[in-house]
Structure 1
Amino acid sequence: MSHKISEIAAALGAEAEGDLELRVTGAAEPQAAGPDQLALAMDPRYADGIAKGQAQAAVLWPGADWRGLGLKAAIFAPRGRLAMAGLTRMMDPGPDIAPGVHPMSVVDPSAQIGAGAAIAPFVTIGRDVVIGANARVAAHVSIAEGARIGADAVIFQGARIGARVTIGDRFTCQPGAVIGSDGFSFVTPEKSGVEEIRETLGTRAEIVQQSWTRIHSLGAVTIGDDVEIGANACIDRGTIRDTQIGSGTKLDNLVHVGHNVQVGKDCLLCGQVGIAGSAKIGNRVVLAGQVGVNDNIFVGDDVIAGGGTKIFTNAPAGRVLLGYPAVKMETHVEIQKALRRLPRLAAKVSALDRGAED
């Protein structure tokens, strides 16, 4: 599929100059671009690469001298990454799945499949499932009984959607994700060592043999509109009430959301984030890679936590956090500066001790 420069500019809401009828079939880095590809050089640092490639058109920074760069056409992007979002969305066709239900899939007769939906081979769709219009479900996906999925969903290979899960429109689910697995919830007949440590913060009485009894998950998972779930991410169903993911929220690969967790709208949870059971995450929260959130606490709206941060207590709205345990980012920086001074401080103290002895 090819696109006119004018069509791309209109899709991006950007200005364009030159031969707007010129067509391109894809995008590439400037030095690797062929004559039918759009070079991506949204920063002057990448200008030299255009001469090394063969592109006739490029996405450039505002005010760039596109003629001087030897191009026939140019699109100007004031915000390069935003232009990348629109361009990649326009050029990504998504999974190639034939419309209708493939004969090698198993669909319960009670399931409702929306108009224009495309179901690939080896898909299993259970009793009373509802799938919205124009949804695309790739091979080896399983959707359990009573699940409801909105319009324009794209569910990639091998994803697992559990019983009674409810998902809004324009849902994207990457390969291998599991939505609606049972929560990790166990109890002992007597007070467990874990409960004891929570109360005493370290003191143990006599250690006795204990066994674990499973608490089953009767709730499900509710997901809003425009949510994306990354590859091999796991969202546990709630114990009684549903685990919730708000509209517009994006989960990266290998994110784990525990049972009963509530995640607000437009959050960004990066790779290997783990949120323990019954935590509440506000709106527009950003948790960078490997952030951990303790159970039964809240993280307020607009909190940003840097990579590897471990949040053990409630985090007020708007706070920027870093470290283990989490503290304000500026406090963490001061702590690290102080740690680097410790060897010199220890040497000074040692010298003072020797002087006192003399």
Structure 2
Amino acid sequence: MIDPRFYKKGKALTLQEVADRTGATLKSKTRKDNLVQGAAPLHLATPDDVTFLSSPKYTGELTASNALACFVTETYEAIAPPGMAVLVCDDPHLAYATIASSLVDARALWSGVSDDARIDPSAKLATGVVVAPGAVIAAGVEIGSGSIIGANAVISVGTTIGEACFIGNNVSISHSLIGDRVILHAGVCIGQDGFGFVTDKARHKKIVQLGRVIIQDDVEIGANTTVDRGAADDTVIGAGTKIDNQVHIGHNCRIGRHCLLVGQVGLAGSVTIEDFCVLGGRVAVMEHVTIGKGAQIAGASGITKDIPPGAVYAGFPAKPIGDWRREIAMVTRLGRDSRSQAKNRGKRIAKE
């Protein structure tokens, strides 16, 4: 169920249009021109909604659902309740995500350029840019058409932001070049000094940070994440990469295309992450490490050396996940055996 205070329904689609847009096969006893007006999970869906089944864990919810239609794999087609339209596809979750964005829109918070924003006369704002109250846009900034600048956001001198971007409330951006369709959620800080110091016997001497941050197209960065600018080279985030809340990216890091970084990941300076990598929550990566293309790192792991392409690592220090699992199993057995031995010794002592 969509709460109309926060979301509004988009244009309704016929069942056949939904099938066509997602590549699903429509199998229905209802008319193909029945209208789908919203999207919701199985247990909340109404007779106007489309839903999806992504796991056998939820087959009970499917049989009880009131949805008009459901994306399923061929395996679960037969268990849909009578009267529910079935949309058969290989990836129900992906199909649902594809169509939900057409059926539901977030309500616009602002429109136009607020009189309470502070915009330097030399800044260039393209057609359709929205600027919320309290935002500050400095000299030489360029913002592409259709982008939204949230309340109290600060866009510093010379920054460029592409088309159709969303810059959330209280975001701070400096020394940065940002592509199209980039989303920066509330509280993100981009382009501040990296943590660079040279230590002598008496003090820590700050190293001036002379690089930039380059964020390519279709990147999304979660709330309160920080991305330091480069010390001399640039910090780069590749196209299509998605970064969760409360992640830290140190100076000179280079993150490839279509990577996933989950909450509380921390990257020290000059880390390289190649394309299509996945880092689970709270992964820590030492400086100057390279993580190869397509590698996956389990949550809470510590990366102290280069990771080969396509590898799956876990633990601290991280190692191939098969090795890590065997070590955990061995330690568990040792602990169980030692407890058993101690118990047996206690029994012998009691008898004596």
Structure 1-normalised TM-score?
0.84
Residues 97 and 136 in structure 1, CA contact (< 8 A), matched pair in contact too: no
Aligned to 1:207: none
Distance across 2 between alignment mates of 1:77 and 1:165? 41
Aligned to 1:172: 183
Give the 3-state SS of the residue equivalent to 2:51 in structure 1.
strand
Q: Which runs of 5+ in 1 are unaligned?
A: 191-209, 353-358
Cα distance, 1:78 vs structure 2: 2.2
Aligned to 2:83: 70
| Paired residue total | 332
* Pair 1:36-2:45 in alignment: no
Residues 44 and 61 in structure 1, CA contact (< 8 A), matched pair in contact too: no
Residues 95 and 138 in structure 1, CA contact (< 8 A), matched pair in contact too: no
Of the three residues 9, 19, 22, the one matched with 1:9 is 19
Give the 3-state SS of the residue equivalent to 1:128 in structure 2.
coil
**Bigger CA drift: 314-323 or 11-20?**
11-20
Cα distance, 1:303 vs structure 2: 1.3
Give the 3-state SS of the residue equivalent to 1:32 in structure 2.
coil
Aligned to 1:88: 100
Cα distance, 1:116 vs structure 2: 2.1
Q: Which runs of 5+ in 2 are unaligned?
A: 1-9, 346-352
Give the 3-state SS of the residue equivalent to 1:82 in structure 2.
helix
Q: 1:233 to 1:68 in 2, by over 3 A?
A: closer
| CA deviation string 1:25-68 (max 9, x = no partner) | 32223333223222334556545435645433333333724885
Residues 151 and 170 in structure 2, CA contact (< 8 A), matched pair in contact too: yes
Paired letter, 2:285: V
- The residue correspondences of 1:257-268 to structure 2 (distance < 5 A) are 257-268=249-260
Distance across 2 between alignment mates of 1:147 and 1:281? 25
Structure 2-normalised TM-score?
0.85
| CA deviation string 1:68-100 (max 9, x = no partner) | 5223x3433321221132123223424514543
Distance across 2 between alignment mates of 1:150 and 1:278? 26
Q: 1:328 to 1:68 in 2, by over 3 A?
A: closer
* Pair 1:226-2:236 in alignment: no
| CA deviation string 1:219-272 (max 9, x = no partner) | 120111111111111100111121111111111111100011111111111111
**Bigger CA drift: 109-118 or 3-12?**
3-12
Q: 1:266 to 1:67 in 2, by over 3 A?
A: closer
Aligned to 1:184: 195
- The residue correspondences of 1:1-358 to structure 2 (distance < 5 A) are 1-4=10-13, 5-16=15-26, 17=28, 18-41=30-53, 46-49=58-61, 52-62=64-74, 64-65=77-78, 69-71=82-84, 73-94=85-106, 96-162=108-174, 164-190=175-201, 210-343=202-335
Paired letter, 2:300: G
Cα distance, 1:15 vs structure 2: 2.5
Q: 1:75 to 1:276 in 2, by over 3 A?
A: same
| CA deviation string 1:113-152 (max 9, x = no partner) | 1222222222111111111111122222211111111111
Paired letter, 1:340: T
Residues 97 and 119 in structure 1, CA contact (< 8 A), matched pair in contact too: no
| CA deviation string 1:304-327 (max 9, x = no partner) | 111111001122222211100011
Give the 3-state SS of the residue equivalent to 1:217 in structure 2.
coil
Distance across 2 between alignment mates of 1:68 and 1:314? 51
Q: 1:331 to 1:53 in 2, by over 3 A?
A: closer
Distance across 2 between alignment mates of 1:268 and 1:250? 5
Paired letter, 2:180: D
Distance across 1 between alignment mates of 2:49 and 2:332? 50
